Structure 1
Amino acid sequence: MTRTQEVAESAEAARRARFGTLPERIRPEDTIEERPATVPDPARDTYNADEWLVRYAL
């Protein structure tokens, strides 16, 4: 066996060791992180059903 063949075989062995198998599959559910963009403000989100009467009818 010549020196170039040995180098080629060692390079092939290194490629197989690194790329020989596919990585484990990642589920789509594991790739998404859901969290609110801002902290909910209870004072801002209050709704008074009769407020429109005061604003627009009087």
Structure 2
Amino acid sequence: MDDTTSQQGSEAEAVARRTRFGALPEPVRVEDMVEERAAGVPDPARTAYNQDEWLVRYCL
């Protein structure tokens, strides 16, 4: 194999490589990568406790 054949082969490989990997993929937005779903049904009794109300009742 001489230099001319080897150089043509590497040029052909370079063209094929550029064709396949020449451009980066489009960037993906963060909003498209995250999916938010509620873990369960909200329980109103869980958030009914108010620390300020306790302070007013027992400290004043």
TM-score normalised by length of structure 2: 0.56
- Segments of 5+ residues of structure 1 without an aligned counterpart are 50-58
Q: Per-residue deviation at 1:21?
A: 1.1
- Segments of 5+ residues of structure 2 without an aligned counterpart are 49-60
4+ runs of 1 displaced by more than 2 Å?
none
Residue 12 in structure 1 maps to residue 21 in structure 2:
no
Aligned CA-pair RMSD: 2.2
Select the structure that is richer in helix.
2
CA distance in 2, matches of 1:5, 1:31: 44
